[in-house]
Amino acid sequence: MLDDASLQALALTLRLAATTTLVLLLAGTPLAWWLARTRSWLKGPVGALVALPLVLPPVVLGFYLLVLTGPNGPVGQLTQSLGWGLLPFSFAGLVVGSVLYSMPFVVQPLQNAFEALGERPLEAAATLRASPLDTFFSVVLPLARPAYLTAAVMGFAHTVGEFGIVLMMGGNIPGKTRVMSVQIYDHVEALEYRQAHWLAGGLLVFSFLVLLALYTLNTLQPGRRKGQGA
C-alpha cells in the first residue's frame, strides 16, 4: 500500500499534469496553427525550439531554467520586481518547466493535424463568408478532434513521468514539489523497494495503457472514415 508521502506525491503529480496539459492545449494551439500555416523563415528555428526537449537531456533544460528564473537571472529579477517571488522550488516553477519539456508532445500532433487539413475546408468556409475565427472553431477544431485527444493524453502522460526537470526546478519539498518520480527516487535511496515497486509499477501500467489506448484509437480511426464514406 502507499504511505502518506506517496499519496501526497501522487496527488501533486496529477495536479501538475492536469495544469500543464491545460496550459499546453491553450498555448500550443495558436503556436501549432502558426507553424502549420506560416511560410516565414522563422518556422524552422521555432519548430526546432519546440522539438528541442525531444533530444535535450531534461537536466540541461532544468539547469538553464533554474539560472534564468533564479534570484540573479533576468526572469527571476522580473518576477521579483512584479512581486511574484521566484519560480524555482514552487508549484508554478514545476508548471513552467513541465510546459516547456512536454511542449512537443502537444504541439507536434496539433501541427500535423492542421497541416493535413489542406486548403479545401478553409476555402469552403470562406465562400460561406465565415470569419477566420468562426472557421477555426466550426471547421478546424472538429476535424482536428482526434489530434487534440492524442495531444492531451500524451502531454498528460509525459508530465506524469518527468523527473530531471522537476527535480531541478522544484527540488524535493514534501507536499509542495515532490512528485511521483522524485518519490520513487527517495524510496530507492532509502532502500524502500516495496514502496518503490508500488509507484514504479503503477507508472509502468499507466504508461502502457496510455500507449495501448492511443494505438487502438489510431487503428480504428481510418476504419471509421472508410465506413462513413461508404
* pLDDT of the residue at 229: 40
* Summary mean pLDDT of the chain: 88
Give domain status of residue 195, yes or no: yes
Q: In this structure, what are the phi and psi dihedrals at residue 209, rounded to the nearest 5 degrees?
A: -65, -35
Give domain status of residue 40, yes or no: yes
pLDDT in tens, 99-155: 999 999 999 999 999 999 888 888 888 888 878 888 888 889 998 988 999 999 999
Q: In total, how many domains does the chain have?
A: 1
Residue whose C-alpha is closest to residue 101's, from 42, 44, 160 = 160
Q: Domain limits at 38?
A: 4-56+90-117+145-229
**pLDDT category, 224, cuts 50, 70, 90?**
very low
Query: What is the CATH number for 155?
Result: 1.10.3720.10
Residue whose C-alpha is closest to residue 182's, from 197, 194, 170, 198 = 170
Give domain status of residue 131, yes or no: no
Residue whose C-alpha is closest to residue 64's, from 55, 81, 76 = 76
How is residue 78 written as a grid cell?
522580473
pLDDT in tens, 18-65: 999 999 999 999 999 999 999 999 999 999 999 999 999 999 999 999
* pLDDT of the residue at 228: 40
Over residues 205-226, mean pLDDT = 74
Confidence check: pLDDT of 222 > 70: no
Which residue in the block uniquely carries the three cell numbers 516553477?
Answer: 93
Cβ distance 66 to 169 under 8 Å?
yes
Give domain status of residue 47, yes or no: yes
17: Cβ contacts below 8 Å, ≥ 6 apart: 98, 156, 157, 159, 160
Confidence check: pLDDT of 17 > 50: yes
Long-range pairs for 119-126: beta carbons < 8 A, 24 or more residues apart: none
Give domain status of residue 105, yes or no: yes
Give domain status of residue 10, yes or no: yes
Give domain status of residue 61, yes or no: no
Give domain status of residue 34, yes or no: yes
